[in-house]
Amino acid sequence: MTNIAVFASGTGSNAVNLVRTFNSGNRIHVALCLTDKENAPVIEKMRELGVETLYFPRSVWKENPQEIIDTLHAHDIKVIALAGFLCFLSADIVNAYEGKILNIHPSLLPAYGGKGMHGANVHKAVIEAGEAKSGATVHVVTNEIDAGPIVVQREVAVLPDDTPESLEAKVHEVEYQIFPEAVIKTVAALTPPAVPKSVDDAWAEALGVPNNVPPVPEHNQANFTNTTGQANQTAAPINPMNPTNPINAMNPVSPAMGPLKAQATQEPMPPTYLVWSVVMTILCCTIPGIVAIIYSAQVSSKFYQGDFEGAHRASRNAEIWIIVSFVLGVITNTLWLPLSIAGMF
């Protein structure tokens, strides 16, 4: 079991999403929530989910960061997730957890990052600049604001009629998808597991549930325990964008992207189909074959950039265009050969 902590200053929707994603399993566990706001809404939400929540005034965060570090060590915290945490984060804390603190930012960093760029400020700036796309980024926290290495990043389209509020809603959907992925990647890097058989197996392993068990209906609920050790009310992991639609722990579904899957760093690269693409281009139908070659070339580049989902998508597209090239080649040759023979007589 790897314990993680979340830091939050506001409503904590991303913090809640992480708890409901991981705390029904046995591999990753949100064990602690720290906040700098005494009456932050996240406090009650975390306590309802059985997560110990502690408030430290900003004076402690700035002047006595060792107290924070000691608290984290006492709970055996290995990774920290900043989920809407707006307080100053001391260099002492950053250095104590170097490479193990993740932050979720509502833009495609390095664009629209830095001081003052948070929440609605970011979305308003994106709209005013007339950008065609925005998105969300999970990055490693360093002593420079929003400048750490990017762990996961995903885009959303900015439409002409988008407002800061509508853009924020779309970005939130992406945040709920990529934050758990980033946590899994970071934990996997700390204690590399055996290579999973598939991406589905990696996700099931992170949740601590078997991947080959049929989904259990709505009665599949996870017990949460409060800070006194007593059983709290049960609640199945839910779709954060639709609280009335529970997510089955055996098959978690993200609001926009279907099954949410862990992109483990040890995942094997999908087939490129490059040889078949070249063969189809030469022997069958040239144009679809060239398209297949383009997608084949994207597989390895996307994989080594960390875009595992994009690599799988490129691999599938390459396979599809190989089939298209073959079918068109067969049809063309079938029609051309009788016509050629007929022309000889």
Place of tokens 């049929």: 214
Burial pattern 120-144, b for ≥16 Cβ within 10 A else e, equals eebbebbbeeebeebbbbbbbbbee
- Output the CA–CA distances (angstroms, integers) from residue 338 to 101, 285, 328, in the order listed: 68, 18, 16
Q: Is 299 exposed, middle or buried (0-12, 13-18, 19+ CB in 10 A)?
A: buried
**Residue 159 burial class via C-beta count within 10 angstroms: exposed 0-12, middle 13-18, buried 19 and up:** exposed
Quick count: other Cβ atoms within 10 Å of Cβ 234? 12
Cα 128 from chain centroid (whole Å): 27
- Catalytic positions, written as ranges: 105
Measured CA to CA in angstroms, residue 212 lies from 69, 200, 259, 298 at distances of 40, 10, 15, 31
Backbone angles phi, psi at 191, to 5 degrees: -135, 85
